[in-house]
Amino acid sequence: MGILDFWRFPRQQVTETKAAPSLPAPTTATSTDAAWLWQLIGATLPDTGTLQVTVNEATAMNCTAVRCAVQSIAEAVGQLPLITYKRGKDGSKDRATEHALFNVLRYRSSDVYSAQNLKEQLTRDALLYGNGFALINRSGDFVELWRIPPTAVTVELDEITYAPFYKVRHGDNREVIYQPHEIFHLMGPSLDGLIGASPIQQGKHAIELALILEEHGLALFRNRAAPSGVVTVDPGLKADQLKALKEAWKAAVGGRKNGDIAMVPGGSGFTPFNFTSTDAQYLELRRFAVTEIARLFRVPPHMLFDLERGTWANVGEMGAEFLTYSLRPWLARWENEVAMKLFREDERDTYFAEFLSDDLTRMDIAARADAYSKLISSRVLNPNEARAKENLPPYDGGDEFINPNTTSSTIPDQNTADKPS
């Protein structure tokens, strides 16, 4: 008999073939007294099942550690300027403000998305789903980028050329096939080189642990799931007597009277509960869950505001660590995808896009002044280049590479230049 034949039998026939259980039937007292007792003490029947949460790309953002890790990277990528440069023959680079991509990558990616919005959103998509997609709308030198939801895109390989192509489901349920040069694909870490793997799915259990711990703590404090003790009474008391005793106890020590002396009838007593080692380790488990999520996204724990190991002395080094090991790979993915998809083949040797990440390693004013002084003295920077880094206007004569410590200034003093001799 196949499985389809099994479902053809009426439900009554199937149940009749089962053997009767050998366990004794529950008594009336067992089934009713349990519910009566829970109702008496003002509680609900316990859920005998295990606490479960659903972890996906949307619900994972309800976990504060995941949200903080994702936003730390996505917002950093979004706020950093992506500048289009032109290479000089001597190896120098100048801002290519005349190029069509300069405004697309720096200010306005389309009629809907600013450059910052698009960079942040595509990076967030890649951090959650493993991939961020945008449609490249090109007409001559005109280029704009339109975000595509990751759930609407399927990446497949051509069976003959093994080149990838993209199936995109549009809002009207049309499925359109696009070639690689038509889709901007910000791909996260991948297992097959074709499509990025979702960190949420790969680290599902670590995120689930953090959510379960949060749910446990919420239930603990909302429902007062850990009472301070239990009142023991004479087993001969009737239901109305137990109820009256409960009301008297609540009136004596409940609410704002917590801590007052409670009087109980003879034969009754109060047994306090002691916290176990598991209760004491709850906060340690929550810290561990945050550290696990930091590992998942390769973000230093201090970026998730876990400052247990942070000090005033090493916080600067931690910031540099975030830029080098957490943010730099995502910046490189952006720069490489821009070079491959947005610049024409005949432009790639001349033009390129690069993030300005100096602001993330920006020191305090005293440290910057000392660094500029050394760089100017060693003729690595001239004064106007140093002023430009501080958003200050240039001054005449500031383009010269001289050591102010060994060369006297030739700039006339404005206070004496106009005085008659």
For 389-421, the pLDDT digits (tens) are: 876 888 998 999 988 888 655 554 545 445 554
User: Residue 275: its pLDDT value, please?
Assistant: 57
Q: Cα dist. 160→138, 148, 163 in Å?
A: 28, 27, 8
Report residues of the chain scoring pLDDT below 70: 1-51, 222-230, 249, 252-268, 270, 272-280, 309-316, 361-364, 391, 407-421
Q: What is the pLDDT of residues 76-100, one digit of tens each?
A: 999 999 999 999 887 788 999 999 9
Q: What is the per-residue pLDDT across 224-254, written as a single tens digit (0 to 9) for each?
A: 555 566 677 777 777 787 777 777 767 765 5
pLDDT at position 112: 92
| pTM beyond cutoff 0.75 | no
**Surface-to-core class of residue 387, CB atoms within 10 Å of its CB (0-12 exposed, 13-18 middle, 19+ buried):** middle
Contact at 8 Å (CB) between 397 and 413? no
Answer yes or no: are the C-beta atoms of 335 and 353 closer than 8 Å: yes
pLDDT at 407: 64
For residue 327, what pLDDT is reported?
Answer: 94
